[in-house]
């Protein structure tokens, strides 16, 4: 996702720049923030979208998702291991869907 934002030249809104840069007017900054947040949300599954609040800005959304999914804590590792071990393909299911689920 970070690469998508870099390609769109929107990465500075989520990479630690919480204040708008000098020379950027409020409307432009808000418009950029909305564009970044929508780009992030368009790449999320419905399950992951449950972690995103509507009133969060792009930076807050990015930080929340990073905290939830990038964590290297023991509980996160155990959760992911449990998810993997309980992943079963449905009978007559689509192999592509099954492989992309985890």
pLDDT tens-place string over residues 62-75 = 888 888 887 777 88
pLDDT at 94 over 80: yes
* pLDDT value at residue 102: 61
Burial class (CB in 10 A: 0-12, 13-18, 19+), 14: buried
pTM, to two decimals = 0.58
Contact indicator for 5, 39 with CB cutoff of 8 Å? yes
Q: For residue range 6-62, what is the model confidence (pLDDT) as tens digits?
A: 778 777 777 765 566 666 678 888 888 888 899 889 888 888 888 888 899 888 998
* pLDDT value at residue 75: 81
């Amino acid at each position: 996702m970070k690469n998508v934002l870099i390609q769109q030249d929107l990465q500075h809104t989520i990479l630690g720049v919480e204040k708008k840069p000098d020379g950027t007017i409020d409307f432009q900054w808000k418009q950029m923030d909305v564009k970044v947040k929508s780009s992030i949300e368009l790449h999320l599954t419905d399950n992951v979208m449950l972690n995103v609040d509507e009133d969060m800005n792009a930076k807050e959304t990015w930080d929340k998702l990073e905290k939830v999914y990038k964590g290297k804590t023991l509980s996160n590792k155990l959760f992911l291991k449990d998810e993997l071990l309980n992943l079963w393909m449905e009978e007559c299911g689509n192999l592509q869907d099954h492989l992309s689920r985890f």
